[in-house]
Amino acid sequence: MSLLSHISRLCCSRCSSIPSSSTRLFCYAPQIGRTGGGFLRSTLIKSKQAFRNVSVVETKRESYKLKNASWKDLKAILSLAGPYKWRILLGISFLGVSSTIFLLTPRVLGKLIDEWDETKQDKMDQTDKSLLLARYFKENPVALVGVLMLGALAIAARIYCMHTAGQLVINDLRKTVFNSVLRQDMAFFDKNKVGEIVSRLSTDALIVGYSVSMNLSDGARALLTCLGSGGLMVYTSLAMCKVIVVVVPVIVGTFAVFGKLQRKYTLMMQEAVAGANQVATERLSSVRTVRMLVAEKKELAAYSDKINEIWLISKMEGLAKGCMFGSFQFTGYLALSSILFYGSNLISQGLLTYGELSSFCLYAVLSAGSLSAMSGFYLELMKGLGASSRLFELKDREPKIPLEGGIQKGNVQEAIRFEHVAFGYADRDPLFHNISFDVPAGKITAVVGSSGSGKSTIASLLLRLYDPTNGRILVDGVDLKDLDPSYWRRHIGTVGQEPVLFSTTIRDNIIYGSTEPEKVSEADIVSAAEQSNADEFIMRFPQKYDTKVGEHGSTLSGGQKQRIAIARALVNKPNILIMDEATSALDASSEYLVRIALNKLLANSKQTVMIIAHRLSTIKHADQIVVVDKGSVAECGSYEELIQIPDGIFRKLVEKQTFGFKDQDSY
């Protein structure tokens, strides 16, 4: 037993050079064993109980069963490393060098033991003694240091090559997935949460990148060491190999069972981490609202729930890992004890030397360590496969509405026609049954209706963020579906209900909408800001157009944000303008000035404008008003025409607002 513990100590002292998982096997596995069955049993019972309680996790579990590791996934993961194959091959060549040196060490050690034994027993003559390895190293220390340095350099070069290859794969993956996500249609974003997607981009991409770089290198090193030490075991003593043959099937079986479990828990873990990230991202980005509603404790509880889910899965994952490494520990030490027992018999029969037994033991430890490292490689690969399946899903998803392609039309000569349009959001009741109306070119069309009647949705359909489920939208007789969506949107200036600004300067926010920002002149920017009545407040800031607006424009007032958003819509000189409640955050006088500016703009150009408004005072000058009610167009005409209709929906809306917003109607 003392030799056994000596060898295991020897192995521990070499932890830095043995693959990380083997370190865990020899150093930590005994501790897992010592913790005893009580801990394992109670953890198992508690976790099982908790899993039953966490319905979210439970329901998701089923879907993981379907996602079996497939060679297709593996091929797809490996193909990511394709562009960097030379870097990886170089890393593997360095691995060959370091592994050769590493594998020769036990052989040299065995030889030294035998030489020492023979010298002690004085079995050698003087000539033989001059050939002693120990003497050679004593007389040529540079050769020894040189070999060791070569090994060290090869390790450093391998790690550099693999690490950089991994980072390049991660970069590619993140860019490709981000590009694919950006191209998705709005229905995708309605279903998928941004925090979750960000988690995929950060955590999952890291895992996949690692599994094709450092993990691949660790796996290759383990395989090389396993094959090399296996071969050298056969070379050292064929008779001793009988013991090994019995143990290998047990180890392979353990791989298979726990590897599968690991993949399942990894998938669950990634799902849970993504969920926690989603909660954190959403709540922190709305921290003002959380503070105003004194919801800190509620949000902490929501986040803690997510973290608890992670904890439960982590316990099961830890248990599976522990059992796996524990099994390796057991089989490993059993094999080692058998080797020592059988080996000492062979020595006593004169069929084996002490040096050969030592070499064999070290090779057995090395191969056990590398088998364990291969299990680590397998687990990491399973993790990579788990992480990749969701990433590839995102990467390969084809949006229902393409980003580009089709007829390049960006203006309206006659009219935009909504023809029997029906539409409903996914998982909701149909919103529109039959919407038909015209938006004449160069005129202002206002869309009104009660809250939730679908006014903003009409703007979304016009921008082709969604496709109608029935009917058509025609632009001068051409179906919107046949137009190039990006080209079409590029010629539409949009100001949404909630102006969205980016955390950069006012100037950058204004030119954000331009397709060629570098071509936008200072005069264009100032002109757009003047038209939207923003120039006057911008010039009062010390840094004027270079003022940073903070996250989502948090350092500006609602009205200021809206005016910058209007300037952004105007700077591109769009052919079509969609103003969704665009003036709602402006005070009465600013709104009036913006309106005068817009009217001037309309008088001088052929812009087609769609205003979606609640405040009916703002649409008095519209050429046409479309009233949407209960999924269809209820009324259509000028302000004067609609107000005349007794019991008309528009008239009622105006009456309601006159009562509530009297002061707004004064100008």
Ligand X SMILES: Nc1ncnc2c1ncn2[C@@H]1O[C@H](COP(=O)(O)OP(=O)(O)OP(=O)(O)O)[C@@H](O)[C@H]1O
- For tokens 């080692």, the residue is 336
Residue 564: closest CA among 542, 592, 594: 594
Q: Rounded to whole angstroms, how far apart are CA atoms 303 and 580?
A: 34
For ligand X, give the closer residue by CB, 111 or 489: 489
Are 238 and 342 a contacting pair, CB within 8 Å?
Answer: no
CB of residue 457 vs ligand X: minimum separation in angstroms?
3
Under the binding rule (CB under 6 A), the answer on residue 428 touching ligand X is: yes
Both tokens of residue 37?
Answer: 């069955």
Q: Rounded to whole angstroms, how far apart are CA atoms 254 and 256?
A: 5
Identify the residue among 275, 343, 355, 454 touching ligand X (CB under 6 A).
Answer: 454
CB of residue 582 vs ligand X: minimum separation in angstroms?
12
**DSSP secondary structure string for all residues of 142-193:** HHHHHHHHHHHHHHHHHHHHHHHHHHHHHHHHHHHHHHHHHTS-HHHHHHS-
CB of residue 610 vs ligand X: minimum separation in angstroms?
12
- By CB atoms closer than 10 A (0-12, 13-18, 19+), residue 664 is middle
For ligand X, give the closer residue by CB, 379 or 627: 627
Under the binding rule (CB under 6 A), the answer on residue 190 touching ligand X is: yes
Q: Report long-range pairs for 38-41 (Cβ below 8 Å, ≥24 apart).
A: 40/319, 40/322, 40/323
Under the binding rule (CB under 6 A), the answer on residue 464 touching ligand X is: no
Residues forming a β-bridge with 580:
612
From 79-87, 123-131, 177-185, 455-463, give the range in contact with ligand X by CB under 6 A: 455-463
Under the binding rule (CB under 6 A), the answer on residue 456 touching ligand X is: yes
For ligand X, give the closer residue by CB, 373 or 431: 431
Contacts for 253 with CB less than 8 Å, ≥ 6 apart? none
- Using CB under 6 A, count the residues that bind ligand X: 13
Under the binding rule (CB under 6 A), the answer on residue 110 touching ligand X is: no
Residues forming a β-bridge with 11:
none
CB of residue 454 vs ligand X: minimum separation in angstroms?
4
Under the binding rule (CB under 6 A), the answer on residue 660 touching ligand X is: no
Element (H, E) at 227: helix 214-236
- Convert 485-548 into a string of H (helix), E (strand) and C (coil): HHHHHHCEEEECCCCCCCCCEHHHHHHCCCCCHHHCCHHHHHHHHHHCCCHHHHCCCCCHHHCE
For ligand X, give the closer residue by CB, 283 or 455: 455
For ligand X, give the closer residue by CB, 96 or 430: 430
Q: How many CB atoms lie within 10 A of CB 555?
A: 15
Under the binding rule (CB under 6 A), the answer on residue 193 touching ligand X is: no
Contacts for 136 with CB less than 8 Å, ≥ 6 apart? 143
For ligand X, give the closer residue by CB, 278 or 572: 278
Give me the helices (H) in 349-481, please: 354-396, 455-462
Angle between helices 588-604 and 522-531 (to 10 degrees): 120
Interacting positions 600-629 with ligand X (CB under 6 A): 614
For ligand X, give the closer residue by CB, 228 or 449: 449
From 79-87, 135-143, 377-385, 450-458, give the range in contact with ligand X by CB under 6 A: 450-458
Are 612 and 581 a contacting pair, CB within 8 Å?
Answer: yes
From 307-315, 401-409, 454-462, 518-526, give the range in contact with ligand X by CB under 6 A: 454-462
Under the binding rule (CB under 6 A), the answer on residue 455 touching ligand X is: yes
For ligand X, give the closer residue by CB, 436 or 456: 456
Query: E strands, 43-128, where?
Result: none
For ligand X, give the closer residue by CB, 184 or 266: 184
Under the binding rule (CB under 6 A), the answer on residue 477 touching ligand X is: no
Identify the residue among 180, 213, 277, 457 touching ligand X (CB under 6 A).
Answer: 457
For ligand X, give the closer residue by CB, 197 or 520: 197
Between 564 and 603, how does the x/- string for binding to ligand X read (CB under 6 A)? ----------------------------------------
Under the binding rule (CB under 6 A), the answer on residue 452 touching ligand X is: yes
HSE (side-chain half, CA atoms, 13 Å) at 656: 12
For ligand X, give the closer residue by CB, 452 or 542: 452
Under the binding rule (CB under 6 A), the answer on residue 31 touching ligand X is: no
Under the binding rule (CB under 6 A), the answer on residue 433 touching ligand X is: no
Identify the residue among 11, 366, 431, 610 touching ligand X (CB under 6 A).
Answer: 431
From 118-126, 366-374, 435-443, 451-459, give the range in contact with ligand X by CB under 6 A: 451-459
Under the binding rule (CB under 6 A), the answer on residue 453 touching ligand X is: yes
Both tokens of residue 51?
Answer: 């899993």
Under the binding rule (CB under 6 A), the answer on residue 451 touching ligand X is: yes
Identify the residue among 160, 425, 487, 537 touching ligand X (CB under 6 A).
Answer: 425
Are 467 and 400 a contacting pair, CB within 8 Å?
Answer: yes
Positive or negative: CA dihedral 459, 461, 464, 466: positive
Residue 27: closest CA among 48, 55, 8: 8
From 197-205, 374-382, 446-454, 651-659, give the range in contact with ligand X by CB under 6 A: 446-454
CB of residue 306 vs ligand X: minimum separation in angstroms?
24
CB of residue 416 vs ligand X: minimum separation in angstroms?
18
CB of residue 627 vs ligand X: minimum separation in angstroms?
11
For ligand X, give the closer residue by CB, 164 or 657: 657
Q: Report long-range pairs for 172-178 (Cβ below 8 Å, ≥24 apart).
A: 172/80, 172/83, 173/80, 173/205, 173/208, 173/209, 173/391, 173/395, 174/201, 174/205, 176/395, 177/201, 177/205, 177/391, 177/394, 177/395
For ligand X, give the closer residue by CB, 20 or 456: 456
Q: Rounded to whole angstroms, how far apart are CA atoms 637 and 631?
A: 18
For ligand X, give the closer residue by CB, 129 or 630: 630
From 218-226, 273-281, 339-347, 424-432, give the range in contact with ligand X by CB under 6 A: 424-432
Interacting positions 205-224 with ligand X (CB under 6 A): none
Q: Which residues bind ligand X (CB under 6 A)?
A: 190, 425, 428, 431, 449, 451-457, 614
